[in-house]
Chains A and B, each alone.
Chain A
Amino acid sequence: MNPALLWHTVWQLGEDVDTDALAPGAYMQLGVEGIAPHCLENLAPAFAREVRPGDVIVAGRNFGIGSSREQAAAVLVHLGVAAVIAPSYGGLFFRNAFNLGLLLLTCADAASLQGQSQLAIERSPLRIVLPDGRALACEPVPDFLLAMAQAGGLLPQLRQRLAAQASSRL
């Protein structure tokens, strides 16, 4: 394991993890901190309790299908999930995740990560590195989305944009 890389603990999930599983409707009346303990409670009951900041999720295809509720991405950010790796995502969830600062990696070969408990993410080019040195390519993410994820989402970017507009008016 290359000590120069940041190693993430992996949570493995299956296909078609929907937004109701990530942010169950019955708790949607609560804030993100109230929903988070119930994240994935029907699929991976230990997840919300045991996930640690910096962990990553490796999932099957169609991660985040379903509702537009961005709480599905917000709970993962709240629980400290560093990134999700899957072959495909619900389109709405994909936008929401970057808007909230959550990095999603689209990796056609995500199934080959089954059984891996640790992985690292390299930024340029975007790829996943395994402890044995193997690397998996990810689909490129447009620069403006990577920048959004790195800035912590759209809200901090809007704050900067508004501040820049205000100072240009001074």
Chain B
Amino acid sequence: MTAQSLAQKLIARAAGQASVRFGEIVTCRVDLAMFHDSSGPRRLKPMLEELGATIWDKSRVVLVMDHYVPERDEAARRIVRIARDWAREQQLPHVYDSQGICHVVVPQHGHIRPGLFCVGGDSHSPTGGAFGAYMFGIGSTEMLGVVVTGEIWLRVPQTIAMHWSGRLAAGVCAKDMMLSMIARFGMNGADYQAVEFTGDAVRALSMQERMTLCNMSAELGAQTGLVAPDDVTWQWLRETGVAPLPGDGDAMDWASDPSSFDVQHDFDAAALSPQLAAPHSPAHGVPLAAHADTRIDVAYIGACTGAKLDDLRFAAQVLKGRRVASGVQFLVAPASLKDRAQAEAEGTMQILTDAGAVVLPSACGACAGYGDSFAEGQTVISSTARNFKGRMGPPSTQVYLGSAYTVAASALRGRITDPREVLA
């Protein structure tokens, strides 16, 4: 049998085969199907009714209300009501309403574990790959197919290894790693193949930082992003209260075989500086120093990409005992209620509010661009994933992407700032 990468092993298990080869089209059994208020019930319910079909296995379905909550208008109320009514009517066992963003809430409630094959009705679904699960995003009609049959087809991808050796400098984090890779390879650079993040610098990352890597695999155009499970993974799962299943202890099962990568790119973590993506593309990487005079109106820490507990802590490291520049709107939308509660308990939220943060609901908010948006002509620095023209505001809104460190440092000075200049 030829050497198999982690991605291939996960696909082979789901396809019921001993191994798979690049380019092969296989049918996989789905262990978990996750969808939200926008991609889920409002689209699935009418199609299921039209087909007269039922959900294949409700225990494998997770519904999260995060895109249209809190409801800002009648249209949002209607969409969320459909989701709530359907969840009740179907007696779905796993529903998280207004608890935070799906990609963070679902693993935090123990639904994702190494070895699983999962789909999500959202493009940032590769986030689940941080736990050693094969997880990718699909559209609503394809989700209908999964919900009815429990299966999905897949063309076995190549595995591209992104190997980071060395150690990240203070003030540099997973978001900077991703922005640098997206700038180098482009928004579709991974060509819908699987990406696996490897190397000492990746091993040294916390679980949430690994989630940031896998999350933004979407912006690299990968089908999924993976980090092989290790002690960090298992410890996180134990702390999250995920009960071990038989066989779970054998983390070695879920590692790539030697020489199973189709492509490997090497990076030196120590040489990485804070990264910035200029309007209007995550791939529009520019030297931060070149924009150091750009004045900002809004500093936004939000989304599944950039407002997890670790991101809040990064911002607090920068802002402890300080206040943001006058005239800057500093917005913080913690990615989940669980992260927010922990940040409150340990004093992180206090540091941020003392610095002038306006705390927003734990939901997709402005990042999704589904209503809450920035004003005409505003310049925004944001820890989110996408700065497409017109996504987070009118086409005149200028959105820069950076890490939570960079957003906080920029809020402090009122202009785009390298966090290493202000970190104590």
Q: Name A residues whose Cβ lies closer than 8 Å to a Cβ of B.
A: 16, 18, 20-21, 24-26, 28-30, 42, 61-62, 65-70, 73, 88, 90-92, 94-96, 99-100, 142, 144, 153-155, 158-159, 162
Interface residue tally on B, bucketed by range:
35 or more
Please measure, in the bound complex, the distance between the C-alpha atom of A99 and the C-alpha atom of B50, giving whole angstroms.
17
Let me know if A28 and B144 touch, CB within 8 A. Answer: no
Among residues of A, the one whose C-beta sits closest to the C-beta of B155 is A142
At the interface, yes or no: B45 with Cβ under 8 Å from chain A?
no
Q: How far is the CA of A87 from the CA of B390 in the complex (A)?
A: 25
B138 pairs with A29, CB closer than 8 A = no
User: In whole angstroms, how far apart are the Cα atoms of A38 and B314 in the complex?
Assistant: 39
Residues of A within 8 A of B223 (CB): 91
Residue-wise interface mask of B (377-392) relative to A, using a CB-CB cutoff of 8 A (1 in contact, 0 not)? 0000000001011110
Whether the Cβ atoms of A29 and B370 lie closer than 8 Å is: yes
Q: Is B240 an interface residue (CB 8 A)?
A: no
Query: Which residues on the A side are within 8 Å of B38 (C-beta)?
Result: 28, 69
Q: Is B76 an interface residue (CB 8 A)?
A: yes
Residues of A within 8 A of B369 (CB): 20, 24-26
A28, B370: Cβ atoms under 8 Å? yes
Q: Which residues of B lie under 8 Å from residue A154 when comparing CB positions?
A: 141-142, 144-145
Q: List the one stretch of B184-192, B204-212, B321-329 in contact with chain A.
A: B184-192
Known: A62-B187, A67-B122, A100-B141. 10 other contacts (CB 8 A): A18-B388, A25-B368, A42-B389, A67-B123, A68-B121, A68-B123, A91-B192, A142-B25, A144-B25, A154-B144
Q: How far apart are A144's CB and chain B's nearest CB, in angstroms?
A: 8
Query: How far, in Å, is A52 (CB) from chain B's closest CB?
Result: 25
Residues on the A chain within 8 Å of B125, using CB: 68
Please measure, in the bound complex, the distance between the C-alpha atom of A77 and the C-alpha atom of B149, giving whole angstroms: 25
Residues of B within 8 A of A (CB): 25, 38-39, 47, 50-53, 68, 75-76, 79, 120-123, 125, 137-142, 144-145, 148-149, 153, 186-188, 191-192, 221, 223, 281, 368-371, 373, 386, 388-391, 395
Query: Given contacts A16-B187, A42-B395, is CB(A25)–CB(B141) below 8 Å?
Result: no
State which of A20, A90, A100, A153 has its C-beta within 8 Å of the C-beta of B390. A20
Closest A residue by C-beta to B137: A68
Could you pull out 23 A-B pairs where Cβ atoms are within 8 angstroms? A16-B187, A20-B389, A21-B388, A21-B389, A21-B390, A25-B368, A61-B188, A66-B123, A68-B121, A70-B140, A70-B141, A88-B191, A92-B138, A95-B142, A96-B139, A96-B141, A99-B141, A100-B139, A154-B144, A155-B47, A155-B141, A158-B51, A159-B51
User: In the complex, what residues of A have CB within 8 A of residue B148's CB?
Assistant: 158, 162
Residues of A within 8 A of B122 (CB): 67-68
CA distance A130 to B25 in the complex (A): 32
- A29 near B76 with CB under 8 A, answer yes
Whether the Cβ atoms of B68 and A29 lie closer than 8 Å is yes
Choose from B25, B140, B386 the contact partner of A66 (Cβ within 8 Å). Answer: B386
Interface centre among A30, A88, A99, A162 (most CB of B within 10 A): A99
Q: Which among B122, B140, B188 has the greatest number of chain A C-beta atoms within 10 A?
A: B188
**What separation, in Å, do the CA atoms of A100 and B141 have in the docked complex?**
7
Partner of A20 from B75, B137, B188, B388 at Cβ < 8 Å? B388
Q: Which residue of A lies closest to B367 (CB)?
A: A25
Q: How far is the CB of A160 from chain B (nearest CB, A)?
A: 10
Evaluate contact between B192 and A94: CB separation under 8 angstroms: yes
Q: Given contacts A21-B388, A42-B390, A154-B144, are A62 and B139 in contact (CB under 8 A)? A: no
Contact between chains at A158 and B390 (CB < 8 Å): no
Pick the 3 closest A-B CB pairs, nearest first.
A91-B192, A70-B139, A25-B369
CB of B53 within 8 A of CB of A158, answer yes
Give the chain A neighbours of B52 by CB distance below 8 A: 162
Inter-chain contact B391/A20, CB cutoff 8 Å: yes
Do the beta carbons of A62 and B144 come within 8 Å of each other? no
Asked, given contacts A90-B221, A96-B141, A154-B142, whether A62 binds B123 with beta carbons under 8 Å apart, the answer is no
CB distance from A119 to the nearest CB of B (A): 24
Q: Which residues of A contact B123 (CB under 8 A)?
A: 66-68, 92
Measured between C-beta atoms, what is the minimum distance from B381 to chain A in Å?
Answer: 19
Chain A residue numbers with a CB within 8 Å of B368 are 25
Q: How far is the CA of A29 from the CA of B188 in the complex (A)?
A: 27
What is the bound-complex CA distance between A21 and B388, given in angstroms? 8
Q: Which residue of A lies closest to B125 (CB)?
A: A68
Given contacts A29-B370, A95-B139, contact A155 B144 (CB under 8 A): yes
Q: Whole-angstrom distance between the alpha carbons of A18 and B187 in the complex?
A: 10
A26 contacts across to B, CB distance below 8 A: 369-371, 373
Shortest beta-carbon distance from A66 to chain B in Å: 7
- Chain A residues lying within 8 Å of B50, measured Cβ to Cβ, are 155, 159
* A100-B140 Cα distance, complex, nearest whole Å: 10
Q: Are A29 and B79 in contact (CB under 8 A)?
A: yes
Shortest C-beta distance, A59 to chain B (Å), equals: 13
